[in-house]
Amino acid sequence: MGLFRDSWRSVDRQIRPVLILVPAVVLVLSFWLGPEWRQLLIIGLLLITLVVLYLVHDHRHRQVERVALREYHQVESLLGLYRHLDPPFSFRGLRQYAASPDMLLAVLQTIERYQPKVIVELGSGSSTKMIDAYLRQMGSSARFYSVEHDEHYLEQTREQLPAGSTHLVHCPLKDIVLEGKTYTWYDLAGLRLEGRIDLLIVDGPPEQLNDQARFPAYPLFRDHLSEQAIIVMDDAARPDEQRIIDRWMAHGSFRREDLPAEKGLTILYRRPS
């Protein structure tokens, strides 16, 4: 009975009516058959129902295991962040809309390995705070620009950073046309770059603005990228981001690396022409 009860709880609410209705219909129809078939039909139906419930329960159990492994991976990544950083603050809220620990750890490892001199981030937040702290801890002279369209949110980020560190740039959204399609994108008029971009982190604007909302990042920054620039695309597990990456690779020469991050993470390494 315990297996039956747990399996039933695991069944999706949309499936439960079906599991009730189908046996009921079969039982009603069984009365149209001869009595010699009725008992056999009922036993067979009960066996099939138990098998279905067991399979649903097993599927649910596997889902729980996958979630547990994913959470464990995030804890590992969080510990990795603390190993790279010794900040005067704790890492909070690193899930859902914010960057996940695995993504942030990959970014810090990329900075550590390639030592970019100019970093541009699209979409400010937790990542801004950590990259800023990491650059300071390293004693890096890299110039870090964080672009954000929401002025209120940008000011909240500014309050959490030491004065004179990261260049926080308010770039309100506007409509632009690329390849015959209109995108709601950052107005980059206020962004004043010193040098070519070595690391471009694409974590904005919000996906709901347009179909393939983040596509303009490469076309608009292409002429500002260094010869061996690196592009990091967060949320790469989403179909839109996958299509964007394919389009970018068709526009330029890149080596692609897909990392097993919670929300998907793709790193593109530019190949000099």
Contact 171, 121 (CB under 8 A): no
Averaged pLDDT for residues 209-230: 94
CA-only gyration radius of the chain, Å: 26
| Per-residue pLDDT tens digits for 160-217 | 888 777 899 999 999 999 999 999 999 999 899 999 999 999 998 988 888 999 999 9
Q: Which residue has the higher pLDDT, 6 or 190?
A: 190
131-142 confidence digits (pLDDT tens): 998 898 888 999
pLDDT at position 98: 62
CA nearest neighbour of 128 among 157, 150, 156, 102: 157
- 159: helix, coil or strand? helix
Q: Bigger pLDDT: 99 or 205? A: 205
User: Which region holds residue 93: left if phi is over 0, alpha if psi is between -120 and 50, else beta?
Assistant: left
Q: What is the pLDDT of residues 111-124, one digit of tens each?
A: 999 999 999 999 98
Q: Give the three-state DSSP class for 257.
A: strand
* Domains of the chain by residue range: 2-72, 91-270
Structure tokens at 231: 């592009």
Compute the residue count for the chain: 273
Instruction: Classify residue 163 as exposed, middle or buried by CB count within 10 Å of its CB (0-12, 13-18, 19+).
Output: exposed
Secondary structure of residue 169 in the 3-state scheme: strand
Split at pLDDT 50, 70, 90, the class of 126 is confident
* Residues 13, 119: Cα–Cα separation, whole Å: 48
For the ranges 6-10, 151-155, 263-267, the lowest mean pLDDT is seen at: 6-10
Between 67-81, 94-108, 241-255, the lowest mean confidence (pLDDT) is in 67-81
Q: For residue 36, what pLDDT band results from cuts at 50, 70 and 90?
A: low
In the predicted model, what is the mean pLDDT of residues 68-96?
A: 62
* Whether the predicted pLDDT of 224 surpasses 70: yes
Q: Is the pLDDT confidence value at 146 over 90? A: yes
pLDDT band at 85 (very low <50, low <70, confident <90, very high): confident
At residue 15, does pLDDT exceed 60? no
Q: Is the pLDDT of residue 222 over 80?
A: yes
Angle separating helix axes 35-84 and 16-30, nearest 10 degrees? 170
pLDDT tens track for 250-266: 988 899 999 988 888 99
CATH of 91-270 given 3.40.50.150, 2.40.10.220, 2.60.40.420, 3.40.50.1970: 3.40.50.150
Q: Which residues lie closer than 8 Å to 218 by C-beta, 6 or more apart?
A: 231, 248, 251, 252
In this prediction, residues 12-23 reach a mean pLDDT of 59
* Beta carbons within 10 angstroms of residue 170's beta carbon: 18
Arithmetic mean of pLDDT, 38-55:
68
Question: Cβ(86)–Cβ(102) under 8 Å?
Answer: no
Going by C-beta distance under 8 Å and a sequence separation of 6 or more, which residues neighbour residue 143? Answer: 117, 118, 119, 167, 194, 195
Average pLDDT, the chain: 81
What is the residue whose two structure tokens read 């390293």?
138
Alpha helices in the chain (DSSP H): 2-10, 16-30, 35-84, 101-114, 126-138, 151-159, 217-221, 239-251
Of the ranges 32-46, 75-89, 132-146, the best mean pLDDT one: 132-146
Per-residue pLDDT band for 87 (boundaries 50, 70, 90) equals low
